[in-house]
């Protein structure tokens, strides 16, 4: 067995651990070292620096590129300042849950409940989003039911949501209540598929802005159908885009044909060879805008030499 196979097998054999390390350190920083007079972006940056400087580094056998999200080889981290505070509903029986059970010691359970949860109870994002006490209480009550999590939020923390298998049912109605209760525009949808899944979100006006992902929701034409449908309810479209230059340009062409389009996400553009994966005239972006070519098709061609040079280990180039 070679090194990559050994790493893969070790990860597959490792139990999933609920890691409280980040929750402890972020709480410690904001309790004793934070300066409320500074801008929030500076405060968060300093808290992150504190976390990185105190985090326990772990290097596992066979690893050449090291770095661990948590204290276990496979870990679920906690972000009490955002929404993970509410998953503590399951903390006492976390390792016995039917869906996604996690290992966590009783010492950590007690510490989370006594030292972390009380501090963030009125300081987390969910609490800050509502100004009226009754809306806050309603939000807290709804968080005790899995149907009241945002789909985008669940995409990131769904691995430890209580009763995860029930999370999607009734979500549109729950999101509509949040949209109605807050002045913050709600944008969602990167994990919704086809018009049929989008229907309750659009017709129920469950969000302010739709955010379909063209590679997931059914392709370019299906995205346009979804966006045109939402436009009847005055809901603009922001396009989720986690793609190569090919997917980005395809999404860009479709967005250019959608009347309610407002913005296209850009991802991975920091890779030095990202734009070189395809052959195109000029820069991909100019003054913050994606340049759409007027050539046939997407107006680009694969640069096969660059693609071959960056193939993953064991991958082939359409052979």
pLDDT at residue 86 above 70? no
User: What domains appear along the chain, each with residue ranges and CATH number?
Assistant: 185-319 (3.20.20.120)
| E strand segments, 227-305 | 237-239, 261-264, 278-279, 285-286, 289-290, 301-302
pLDDT value at 48 more than 70 = yes
Read off the pLDDT of residues 148-162 as tens digits, 9 standing for 90 and up: 444 444 334 444 444
- The fraction of the chain above a pLDDT of 70, given in percent, is 86
What average pLDDT score do residues 190-219 get? 88
Helices 245-256 and 220-231, packing angle to 10 deg: 40
Residue whose tokens read 């920083």: 29
CB of 106 within 8 A of CB of 91? no
What torsion, rounded to 10 degrees, do the Cα atoms 4, 5, 10, 11 define? 70
Rounded Cα–Cα distance for residues 74 and 100 (Å): 12
Checking DSSP bridges between strand 237-239 and strand 261-264, what pairing results, if any?
Answer: parallel
- Please, which residues bridge with residue 188 across strands? 210
Q: Are 122 and 81 in contact (CB under 8 A)?
A: no
Q: How much is the pTM?
A: 0.51
Q: Which of 123-137, 153-167, 260-274 has the lowest mean pLDDT?
A: 153-167
3-state helix, strand, coil in the chain (%, to 5): 50, 10, 40
Q: What digits encode the pLDDT tens for the residues 89-122? A: 778 888 887 766 788 999 999 999 999 989 988 8
Whether residue 176 contacts residue 151, with contact meaning beta carbons closer than 8 Å, is answered with no
- Please give the Cα distance from 144 to 125 (Å, whole number): 16
For residue range 4-25, list pLDDT tens digits in order.
888 888 888 888 888 899 999 9
């Amino acid at each position: 067995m070679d090194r990559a196979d050994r790493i893969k097998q070790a990860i597959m054999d490792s139990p999933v651990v609920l890691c409280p390390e980040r929750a402890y350190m972020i709480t410690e920083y904001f309790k004793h070292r934070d300066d409320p007079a500074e801008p929030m972006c500076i405060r968060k940056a300093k808290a992150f620096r504190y976390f990185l400087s105190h985090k326990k580094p772990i290097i596992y056998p066979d690893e050449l590129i090291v770095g661990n999200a948590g204290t276990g080889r496979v870990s679920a981290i906690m972000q009490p300042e955002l929404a993970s505070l509410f998953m503590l509903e399951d903390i006492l029986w976390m390792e016995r849950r039917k869906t996604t059970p996690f290992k966590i010691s009783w010492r950590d359970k007690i510490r989370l409940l006594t030292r972390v949860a009380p501090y963030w109870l009125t300081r987390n994002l969910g609490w800050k989003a509502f100004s009226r006490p009754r809306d806050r209480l309603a939000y807290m009550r709804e968080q005790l039911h899995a149907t009241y999590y945002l789909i985008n939020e669940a995409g990131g923390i769904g691995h430890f949501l209580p009763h995860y298998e029930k999370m999607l049912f009734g979500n549109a109605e729950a999101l509509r209540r949040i949209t109605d209760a807050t002045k913050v525009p709600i944008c969602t949808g990167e994990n919704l598929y086809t018009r049929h899944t989008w229907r309750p979100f659009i017709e129920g006006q469950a969000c302010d802005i739709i955010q379909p992902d063209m590679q997931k929701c059914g392709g370019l034409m299906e995205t346009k159908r979804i966006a045109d449908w939402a436009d009847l309810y005055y809901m603009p479209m922001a396009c989720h885009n986690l793609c190569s230059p090919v997917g980005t340009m395809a999404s860009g062409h479709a967005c250019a044909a959608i009347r309610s389009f407002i913005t296209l996400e850009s991802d991975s553009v920091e890779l030095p060879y990202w734009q070189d994966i395809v052959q195109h005239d000029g820069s991909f972006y100019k003054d913050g805008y994606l340049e759409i070519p007027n050539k046939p098709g997407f107006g680009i061609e694969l640069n096969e030499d660059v693609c071959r040079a960056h193939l993953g280990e064991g991958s082939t180039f359409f052979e």
